[in-house]
Chains A and B, each alone.
Chain A
Amino acid sequence: MDLPVEPAMTRPGALTDVSGRLAGRPLEEWNAAYGKVENYFHALRIRNKALLGQLVLRVLERAMKRAPAEPNRSATQIAAEEMDRIVTEWFAEVLQEPPTNADQMLSTRGRLALLLADMPGQWQDQFLRPPPWPEEFVHSMRDAYLRAGPDFQLSKMTARPFDLGPITTLTNLGRIPYLKMAVVWGLFVLLLVALFHFTHSH
């Protein structure tokens, strides 16, 4: 494992400024921040616990550096932002895109590339790692493109109406007001006639 992670744990001075606090925040706050970052990496299917721990600590270290300058924001907020920044920067580097990510599409493309390159299955150790990356991994990431359909070849089918002849007139009968009511009355009259006929036919 060659991650440029210098876990805060290795520098006790940076860890505990006062008892029960880390980077000026209560331990619980960092615990919540840890949980949030861990959840996200877990969602990215980083299943190796050692690797997962290292990645989370790397994000937290950057968050801790920022924390004293932003006392009004929670550790979780700062850590989530740092996580987003680290991931986006890494995507930009791997995919050779400008790291602006103004509309978040870089992040989307990056996540899709991770999936298509099967990062969770084959390249977990390369995730967030600085270059150089294995050739195959880089190719898989950069060539990743999800094709949901072939190139369009647009055309327009046109329906030809049926010529129903005189039947068309019948279909327009429904527009006559009170037609249904008249039909029901007509049926009622027919019923009476039929009843009379059947009961008087002998």
Chain B
Amino acid sequence: MPGAILQSASAPGQSPPLVLAPRPRVHRGGRVFVFYSCAFLMTGFVSMLFADLLWRTGWSASRTLLLVLFVILFLLIAIGCVHGVFGFCLRAFGDRQLITKTDYRSQSLAGTSTALVFPIYNEDIVRVYEGLRATYESLEKTGQLEHFDFFILSDSTDPDKWVEEERRWFELIQELDALGRVYYRRRLDSEGRKSGNVCDFLNTWGRRYRYFLVCDADSVMRGETLVDLVKLMEAHPTVGLVQTVPALVNAESLFGRIQQFANRLYAPLFIAGLNYWALNLGNYWGHNAIIRTEPFMQFCDLPQLPGKKPFGGQILSHDFVEAALLLRANWEVWLAYDLEGSYEEVPQGMIENAQRERRWCQGNLQHGLVLFARGLRGVSRLHLLLGICGYLAGPLWLAFLLTFNWIRWYQKYTGLSNITVHAFTPYLNLSGTAHALLIFTICMAILFLPKVLALIDLAFDGERRRAFGGLARTTVGVVGETIFSTLHAPLLMLWHTRFVVTNLFGASVGWSQQKRGPDGTTWTFAIRRHWGHTLIGLVWGVFMWRLNLYLFWWFTPVFTGMVFSIPLSAWTSRRRLGARARKLGLFLTPEETKPPVELVALRSQMRIHEITDDTTPHRPHAGLAEAILDPYVNAIHVSLLREKQLNPVYAEQLDKLGVGHKEVRGLGEKLLTQGPAQLTAPERLLIMTDARAMVWLHQQLWLRPGETLAPWWRAAIQEYSRRD
């Protein structure tokens, strides 16, 4: 690993800026060249064949467009394929260029301090806290707990969630005996979203910690992995960030299990390939990564981008940009892809998955502007570009298919004959049809080669093979996954096209919350989300049928996914189908066949919650009622609010919000006599943010005779008193 010289130059009244000397780039430059040259060579060769095919049937403007689209799309799949091939070779012959190959285990954690931060926003709090508990208990077993603190960083705006977060946080610290080890903080505003949330944590406590590790709401980390990450950072003082590769786990639906299977089987190859060219100029995926606090605080506060949406304003997908900023300041960013014990969860249905894709699409498109920022490293621009292409591929593919359809339609309805002429392919002695078939076969080979390589890789690794349930079952799983992804891909194409187009026009894609039944996506919700896909599939299918029956059959994989999108979406979200596939030994992953202790603990805790938690639907404003009525919840809530006032930044924000002003008492009176429904949501939140008002309300509610209170409160007290 190339070394770097740490320099420091301090200005009066400022913390000394950390400056690292640039490292030589030659070695990696060679790798980037070799890697991408392979993709370009493949693209060049196949594009020539394709251009020749177009030439044989008569060149036209639309064919030029088709060729351009083909070149771009093929390049993207070729890059994917090269990742797989390089990754396979590295795994087969050994990869020495890994941060974990250095001697780091002898490092001591003495004197280090690491914060594990869990930024949350109206999440399923039971799941978040149980993930935290599993991580905490695992870390406790390493005997290194004293070097870590846990922070729940809430940005929740739903009052019910807020109160539940506080109550369950207290229960958690009682159960873990973790008072002073697991902390809770809720921000007063959600400015800057997740990155703003983390930034607020750093501004408040960052200087206490040498490192911080960002976890997602569904993250679980093994204690030993956490210790390893700190040791890695200690051993490499020029490393600013180490990203682990989280394994997808805990999926129960068929969709989730297929995704998790694909992730566990194929990702090791792709990530190894990625590490080949990225090396110490890796990327950050927003969570399950350890970060050196000082340089992050100095270089990674995100600026607003100039201009309007979709490109201007606040940076939505912050992770790639933060990694780019660290790299710009000459800090290293590594992927520690061979560190096990880093987990996250996967959406359980196609619609939930698309919802997540929509957010990421918005953020990635914005990177189009960041691409041009001066001073960024070329590799960072490459990471950003690949992210953008991941979403542009959808509309480009659609444009390719439509252009092809247009050419065929034009040919048919203008009565032009399809006379093939000779080009350089006569040397191959191919007919027009065979020529087209050859290109198609190459495309399919490029698409499926990484999957085959993943299977071969598995075949030669006995332990891993057993963890996947054996080679035969895994092969069947790969076939099943391929069929599913073939049906799913056209839907992603339509979704991505919609997201890209609406984002480019500056509009946000409105999408209501997922309606899930006890066993997945409900049929009504699936119909609402997919009727358009079905219609497009039917219309397109009929069009192709009438256009050319032969072509129709070639296009069936595209239509089938669309036409059957409703049942596909509903059925694959079913847990029982996921369970049945598991019983058959399909789509097994190592975490299913041999579950790690952390995940076993998490699942058993979640099961306990399923059995014991009150599942009756809460009345509206139940959180507000609990925070006022319950003597203990009220005390916790008020105590947390009072602690907030000690922070001058929060104190100023509280004052701006109107906390402590006379008007709040007036709103409190209205709340008692007329009920919460008569207040606006911001008014209710204002009351809940005012410690004195909350104490006063608690006292008044228990002191006043029932007849002076709103009927809503009388009912709430009655309901509350019946609770045991």
Contact = CB atoms under 8 A, between A and B. Distances in A.
Partners in one complex: yes
Nearest to B373: A162
Interface string A44-85: 110000000000000000000000000000101100110110
Contacts of B170: 115, 146
B370 interface: yes
A197 B208 CA distance: 66
A151 B300 CA distance: 24
A111 interface: yes
B303 interface: yes
Given A80-B703, A115-B632, A147 B183 contact: yes
A153 B208 contact: yes
A148 B204 contact: no
A164 B373 contact: yes
Interface string A135-151: 00000000000111111
A171 B307 contact: yes
B183 A149 contact: yes
B301 A168 contact: no
Contacts of A118: 174
B561 interface: no
Given A80-B703, A84-B702, A108 B639 contact: yes
Nearest to B370: A162
B403 to A, nearest CB: 10
B205 A159 contact: no
Interface string B189-229: 00000000001001111111000000000000000000000
A43 B630 contact: yes
A103 B374 contact: no
A192 B549 CA distance: 31
A161 B179 CA distance: 40
A111 B406 CA distance: 74
A39 B703 contact: no
Interface in B280-303: 297-303
Contacts of A105: 642, 695
Contacts of A153: 204-208
A1 interface: no
A188 interface: no
A151 B179 CA distance: 14
B179 A146 contact: yes
A39 B634 contact: no
A18 B34 CA distance: 103
B703 A84 contact: yes
B717 A39 contact: yes
A150 B205 contact: yes
Nearest to A41: B631
A112 B639 contact: yes
Contacts of A201: 60-62
A182 interface: no
Contacts of A178: none
A21 interface: no
B301 A77 contact: no
Interface stretch (B97-105, B457-465, B566-574, B644-652): B644-652
A45 B205 CA distance: 36
A150 B208 contact: yes
Contacts of A2: none
A162 B306 CA distance: 9
A164 B647 contact: no
Interface string A161-202: 111110110111110000000000000000000000111011
Contact of B303 (A74, A77, A146, A162): A162
Interface in B526-575: none
Contact of B205 (A77, A152, A167, A171): A152
A19 interface: no
A39 B61 CA distance: 81
Nearest to A199: B410
A96 interface: no
B401 interface: no
Contacts of A42: 721
A198 B62 contact: yes
Contact of B185 (A83, A146, A149): A149
B410 A163 contact: no
Interface string B635-646: 110111011001
Contacts of A122: none
Nearest to A151: B208
B306 to A, nearest CB: 4
Interface in A80-118: 80-81, 83-84, 103-105, 107-109, 111-112, 114-116, 118
B721 A104 contact: no
B647 A154 contact: yes
B187 to A, nearest CB: 12
A35 B299 CA distance: 61
B374 A157 contact: no
A133 interface: no
Interface in B370-425: 370, 372-375, 406, 410, 414, 416
18 contacts: A80-B703, A81-B703, A83-B702, A105-B695, A109-B635, A114-B632, A115-B632, A116-B179, A148-B183, A148-B639, A150-B205, A151-B208, A153-B206, A154-B203, A155-B207, A157-B199, A158-B301, A164-B369
Q: Which 8 A-B pairs have the closest CB atoms?
A: A171-B307, A157-B301, A111-B635, A162-B373, A112-B635, A159-B303, A159-B301, A153-B207
Given A150-B208, A171-B312, 19 more contacts: A35-B721, A39-B721, A40-B631, A42-B721, A84-B702, A109-B635, A112-B636, A149-B643, A150-B205, A153-B204, A154-B648, A155-B206, A155-B207, A164-B306, A164-B372, A167-B372, A170-B307, A171-B306, A174-B308
Interface of B: 15, 58, 60-62, 149, 151, 170, 174, 179-180, 183-185, 199, 202-208, 297-308, 311-312, 369-370, 372-375, 406, 410, 414, 416, 629-632, 634-636, 638-640, 642-643, 646-649, 692, 695-696, 698-699, 702-706, 717, 720-721
